[in-house]
Structure 1
Amino acid sequence: MRELLTTTLWHAITPIYGAILEHPFITGLTDGSLPEPSFRFYVVQDALYLQDFARAQALAAAKAPRDTWCELFAEHAKTSLVVERALHEAFFQHWGLSSEAVYRTPKMPANQAYTNYLLATAALGTFEEAIAALLPCYWIYWEVGKHLEATGSPNPLYQRWIETYASEEFGSIVQAVQTVMDEAAADLPESRRTVLIRHFRQTSIYEWQFWDDAYHRRTFPWLEQESEHR
């Protein structure tokens, strides 16, 4: 009997997940060393990311072979736009950032590459491919949240972020997607499972790159200047 695909997927990203946990953005959330401007940069970029993540979820819903899966990802797309946006907007209010300022911010390089990959996979690939590409954003955040929860953070903004992704509520959402992944891939040949592993690894790498770009506040040259003149 083959092992569950999700077991194979997680094993496939062992070094990537290890690098995420060791990244100064992640370690800085708990020891308080993460510069708040880097966290602010990250939250703005995450808000931009979720716009396209929700669209990829909606594309997955449209391709779902079961009605229950269609309902699940349609609801998740709504959650990404409404519920998670509320978390971001609480941060924006704290920093005095307007929604207009946030949503005219250019995407950082990792964000642009990541969302392009998600949308292309969800639009052009199969339902299973879409879920494999979407799953790291769910799963890695949950694992990171649980990992950081044991230590907590002296910064209340960082602590709120940790509690959100370590919560049982978020965990139940992740587990639902894991179940869909395993059931959807149960009868696939090894050649197709290999494709899913590739998508999962690629977007897991983008997760690391997203935090790395945010930590360094990395942007495309000239784009910030262009946005200022609009």
Structure 2
Amino acid sequence: MSLARRLWEENRDLAQAALEHRFVRGIGAGTLPEENFRRYVAQDAFFLEAFARAYALALARSPEREGMYAFFELLSGVLEELELHKGYAQKWNMELEEVSPNHATLAYTDFLLATAGLREVGEICAAMTPCMRLYAHLGQSLAREGSGEENPYAEWVRTYADPEFEKLASRLEELLDRYGEDTPATRSAYRRAMRLEVDFFESASNGTSGGRR
């Protein structure tokens, strides 16, 4: 079993917690209050900008040309994802640039940028892979459950259930397998990112600054 697959399987408990979270269930059923989704979009846009910067740092630290090309491809994918958020912002007259990150968002972005700035490429991949693999998992799971076009959040589900997003998640997992080592630091980075994902949903759901475990 590859390192990426092993880490995913070892963190299935947190993936399941995310899938069962009331925020995600609300998206799938179309019952999530719009206010909660707006709050999520604003915070996620801030997060994605940090995620893009982490890819850029990984690109700069890549030890070979193939890795540089791959991180560039992944960075481009995040910028496309941000376009989805811009669409939501225009619909709701939101100014994403004026958003103040809450505690849960800052906890995640600080962790990502510190890892990307200070650690080796393999550990950077371990910190970033959970976001991509988890969102692909959530999108595909909700699509299988039958989230229809009448759902106000159907576009969100389509985005993360799309085979193209799955390709990006798999690409990052390939980089984790290529550059990562099965060390305590790698395992810790992966699990911390998964926990921060659940915290992020909790923050968007309850409207507080979020908690740290």
- Structure 2: give runs of 5+ residues left out of the alignment: none
Q: Figure out how many residues of one structure are paired with residues of the other and give that number.
A: 209
- Aligned equivalents of 2:193, 2:31: Cα separation in 1: 27
Choose the corresponding residue for 2:59, options 58, 61, 71: 61
**Equivalent position to 1:197, from 184, 187, 210:** 187
**1:43 and 2:52 are equivalent in the alignment:** no
1:6 match? 4
2:189 partner letter? H
Q: Cα deviations across residues 163-195 of structure 1 (Å, max 9, x unaligned)?
A: 00000111111111111111223xx4x5xx221
- Aligned equivalents of 2:150 and 2:87: distance in 1? 15
Equivalent residue runs for 1:11-26 within 5 Å: 11-26=9-24
1:110 corresponding residue in structure 2:
104
Q: CA RMSD in A?
A: 1.5
Task: Check whether the contact 2:29–2:151 (CA below 8 A) recurs between aligned residues.
Answer: no
CA distance in 2, matches of 1:218, 1:103: 20
Q: Compute the displacement of 1:161 (Å).
A: 0.3
Q: C-alpha displacement at 1:154, in angstroms?
A: 5.9
Q: Deviations over 1:127-178 (max 9, x none)?
A: 1010000101110000000000012146544110000000011111111111
Q: Which has the larger radius of gyration?
A: 1
Corresponding position of 2:208: 218
**How far apart, CA to CA, are the structure 2 residues paired with 1:78 and 1:14?**
28
Which residue identity lines up with residue 88 of structure 1 in the other structure? H
- Contact 2:30–2:151 (CA<8 Å) still a contact in 1? no
What residue is the counterpart of 1:161 in the other structure? 156
Q: Could you report, residue by residue, the CA deviation over 1:47-81 in whole angstroms, capped at 9, with x for unpaired residues?
A: 11111111111111111122111121123223323
| Match among 77, 84, 88 for residue 81 of structure 2 | 84
Quote the Cα distance in structure 1 between the aligned partners of 2:20 and 2:78. Answer: 27
Asked if the contact 1:114/1:203 (under 8 Å) is kept, the reply is yes
Structure 1 stretches lacking a partner, 5+ long:
221-230
Could you tell me the TM-score, scaled by structure 1's length? 0.86
The Cα shift of 1:23 comes to: 0.5
Indicate conservation of the 8 Å contact 1:29/1:153, yes or no. Answer: no
* Structure 1 residues 4 and 169, CA gap change in structure 2 (3 angstroms): same
Render the CA deviation track for 1:77-119: whole Å, top value 9, x for unaligned. 23323x112111111122122xxx3211110111100000000
Question: 1:40 & 1:129 partners in 2: Cα distance?
Answer: 32
Q: Read off the aligned partner of 1:217 and give its amino acid letter.
A: G
Amino acid at match of 1:45: Q
1:127 aligned onto 2:121: yes
Aligned counterparts of 2:157 and 2:82: Cα–Cα separation in 1: 16
Determine if contact 1:128/1:184 at 8 Å carries over to the other structure: yes
Name the CA distance, whole Å, in 2 between partners of 1:155 and 1:216: 25
Cα distance in 2 between the residues matched to 1:62 and 1:155: 43
What TM-score, normalized to structure 2? 0.93
Contact 2:48 2:78 in 1 (8 A): yes
Query: Which stretch shows the higher mean deviation, 72-81 or 196-205?
Result: 72-81
Percent of residue pairs bearing the same amino acid type: 33
- Alignment-mate amino acid for residue 120 of structure 2: T
